[in-house]
Amino acid sequence: MNEKIILGHGSGGRMTRDLVRDVFCRHLGDFGPQSMDDGAVLPCEKGELVFTTDSYVVSPLEFPGGDIGTLAVCGTVNDLAVMGARPLWLSLGVILEAGLEIDALERIVKSIAAKAREAGVKIVCGDTKVVEKGKGDGIFINTAGIGVLEHPLTPETIEPGDQIIVSGTVGDHGMALLTLRKGFPLKSDLKSDCAPLNGMISQCLDEAGVKWMRDATRGGVATILNELSEGRPWGVLLEENDIPLSDAVAGVSELLGLDPLYSANEGKVIFVVPRHQAENALKGLKKSAYGKKAAVIGLIVDDFPGKTVLHTQMGTLRTLGILASDPLPRIC
């Protein structure tokens, strides 16, 4: 491990995982989280709750398709939803930097309200702090969320033949932030896919026997599927021809030599469903505006145990590893 924290530790890839495992989990032990899931399932008298928390430090604060407030609500809502929970309540912790314009803060708070309303959740508590100019980069936000577990998932039942579905086009958020932050003079309609997905996920769960799901945020689709396959007696095989990309993402990826499978998403979910339920799952997803371009992109296979492999457009096989360090830090 590096002796000092570097930006790569926030990539959501291998460096992030190693940091959490080797520092937080090692020292917290029995008093820390017992899994690397996005949330924790907590027993209570009337069922089970799911609890999660996340922090947002995106740069710039506002971008095509959203802002840091949009991310704060959608990210936490989605983390609850992919655990099989119905999101209900959020907390809102805000660290403001002296010098931030009140107009900018109001725009962000309006985004928070709009997305909370869309997701059907309430902001029930919060906290505000202000730091000196130069110490906070405008605004940092932390949101914690609580939901009721309604659809327990069964990842232990995953087996060869199960289908892998993505809820829409891949790589939109990361590519939009990249082109904006780097100032590339590109003419494209790139924008973030940031969205609350609990309604869409609920439709899919009602239509198909979903065994596992994750929102493909930091590290992208490839990293999330590596987390699924690692240490398993089966592998993941993706079909490159079946992976949906917007024309803008495809063009920018080719121009810059980047792989959209490692680009962040803030409005896409990966599902594993039984083969015979795949069509039902797609039907459920496409009832939502956020799932219109959902597609089956691969399957669980006996081959390549513990690995994620891409069948390329050229007919070759390419092993996809976990992202080591994101080329564009602070995308959420």
Query: 95, 126, 149 — which closes off a domain?
Result: 149
Mean pLDDT estimate for the chain:
92
Checking DSSP bridges between strand 308-311 and strand 235-239, what pairing results, if any?
A: parallel
Do 59 and 194 share a domain, yes or no? no
What is residue 21's DSSP assignment? I
In angstroms, the CA 20 to CA 10 distance is: 10
Same domain, 272 and 162: yes
Q: How many domains does the chain have?
A: 2
Residue pLDDT, tens place only, 224-268 = 999 999 999 999 999 999 999 999 999 999 988 899 999 999 999
Among 111, 132, 149, which residue terminates a domain? 149
- Per-residue pLDDT tens over the stretch 194-230: 999 999 999 888 888 999 999 999 899 999 999 999 9
Which residue is associated with the tokens 């145990």? 305
Question: Which percentage of the chain shows pLDDT scores above 90?
Answer: 75
Domain membership of residue 326 (yes or no) is no
44: which 2 tokens? 């209570």
Do 131 and 65 lie in a common domain?
yes
Cα pseudo-dihedral 62, 20, 23, 156, rounded to 10: 160
Element (H, E) at 124: strand 122-131
For residue 29, what pLDDT is reported? 79
What are the pLDDT digits (tens) for 130-161? 999 998 899 999 999 999 999 999 999 999 99
Domain closes at, from 124, 149, 174: 149
Average pLDDT over residues 120-124: 97
Domain containing 180 — which CATH number?
3.90.650.10
pLDDT (average), residues 165-189: 88
Residue 50 inside a domain? The answer is: yes
**In-domain check, residue 274:** yes
Of 43-47, 163-167, 264-268, 317-321, the one with minimum mean pLDDT is 43-47
Peptide bond into 60 cis (omega under 30): yes
Does any domain span residue 16? Answer: no
| Bridge partners (DSSP) listed for residue 192 | none
Query: Is 30 a domain residue?
Result: no
- Report the pLDDT averaged over residues 120-131: 96
Residue predicted with more confidence, 33 or 85: 85
Conformational region of residue 161, where left means phi above 0, alpha means psi within -120 to 50, and beta covers everything else: left
Whether 1 has a pLDDT exceeding 50, the answer reads no
- Condensed to tens digits (0 to 9), the pLDDT of residues 34-50 reads 676 667 888 777 689 99
Q: Are residues 206 and 111 in the same domain?
A: no
Whether omega before 87 lies within 30 degrees of 0, making that bond cis, reads: no
| Cα atoms found within 13 Å of the Cα of residue 118, Cβ hemisphere only | 20
If asked whether residues 185 and 265 sit together in one domain, one would say: yes
User: Is the pLDDT reported for residue 106 higher than 60?
Assistant: yes
Here the CATH number for the domain that contains residue 58 is: 3.30.1330.10
pLDDT value at residue 44:
79
What is the domain extent for residue 310? 155-320
